[in-house]
């Protein structure tokens, strides 16, 4: 498909997993893509892959917990391509799994700074750029099934993901009259590095049991499946969708 030719998408956490797949999905539909993450080697490799396919990409090293980094990221995308149509706020960390009575403030701060503060900062500067450019846009925050479900040891992660829902609905209410749609896409168990790290902690047997007993489709999602859903939310095909929480989890939350 080439229905996004001439448009520009910005993706945070683009160095791997869902972010990487989303950048490739944007490029496949013709969009020029600004790639942001902390790991430059992975961004360089992705940029090369996109350009080899005949599309345009630019990269910028970004820590989304830092306001100056986020402001530079958005400025770089606009200065490079002249516009900003789509933004996907995907960067996130799971932190260490710790019981609530032993949960360290450092662990809490790291997760909330990246996942919740980072989403706020991205929304702030992306919205400002889109308002100044005056052609509307679409922003998708990437949440999780833990945006509505907590789990033992994951207080900070669940709190940060719950918070993203409030940010999304508030931003949607404010920005919709200016033609900017804001939604949150919540993936379930997906074949990414984060989920492999969790598998290493809880063990293959337990992880597979959770999938078999709790996921209607009986398997993990693929990053490409999540990316296609995100890009659909950005596209004109979802032109009447804003302020919503869309879940792509294979039926997981229907079982809990």
Identify the band that residue 2 occupies on the pLDDT scale cut at 50, 70 and 90.
Answer: low
pLDDT tens, position by position, 20-29:
999 999 999 9
Instruction: Give residue limits of the domains in the chain.
Output: 8-255
Is pLDDT of 151 > 90? no
CA–CA distance, 225 with 88 (Å, rounded to integer)? 15
Count how many Cα atoms sit within 13 Å of the Cα of residue 38 in the half-sphere of its side chain. 10
Kindly tell me if the per-residue pLDDT of 205 is higher than 90.
no
How far is the CA of 129 from the CAs of 31, 232, 256, in angstroms? 18, 22, 40
Structure tokens of 25? 């999905």
256 within 8 A of 149, measured Cβ to Cβ: yes
CATH top-level class of 8-255: alpha beta
Show which residues are catalytic: 157
Distance CA 135, CA 142 (A): 23
Task: Return the pLDDT at 140.
Answer: 98
User: Both tokens of residue 137?
Assistant: 């846009």
């Amino acid at each position: 498909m080439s229905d996004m030719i001439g448009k520009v998408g910005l993706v945070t956490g683009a160095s791997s997993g869902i972010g990487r797949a989303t950048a490739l999905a944007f490029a496949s539909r013709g969009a020029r893509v600004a790639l942001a993450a902390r790991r430059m080697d992975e961004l360089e490799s992705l940029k090369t892959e996109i350009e080899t396919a005949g599309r345009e990409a630019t990269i910028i090293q970004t820590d989304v917990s830092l306001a100056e980094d986020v402001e530079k990221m958005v400025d770089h995308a606009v200065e490079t391509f002249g516009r900003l149509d789509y933004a996907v706020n995907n960067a996130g960390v799971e932190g260490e799994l710790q019981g609530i009575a032993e949960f360290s403030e450092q662990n809490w701060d790291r997760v909330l700074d990246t996942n919740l503060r980072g989403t706020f900062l991205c929304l702030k500067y992306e919205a400002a750029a889109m308002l100044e450019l005056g052609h509307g846009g679409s922003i998708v925050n990437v949440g999780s099934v833990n945006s509505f479900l907590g789990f033992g040891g994951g207080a900070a992660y669940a709190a940060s993901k719950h918070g993203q829902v409030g940010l999304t609905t508030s931003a949607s209410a404010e920005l919709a009259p200016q033609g900017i749609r804001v939604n949150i896409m919540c993936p379930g168990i997906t074949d990414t590095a984060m989920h492999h790290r969790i598998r290493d902690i809880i063990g293959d047997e337990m992880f597979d049991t959770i999938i078999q007993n709790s996921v209607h489709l009986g398997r993990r999602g693929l990053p490409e499946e999540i990316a296609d859903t995100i890009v659909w939310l950005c596209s004109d095909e979802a032109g009447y969708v804003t302020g919503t929480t869309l879940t792509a989890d294979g039926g997981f939350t229907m079982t809990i």
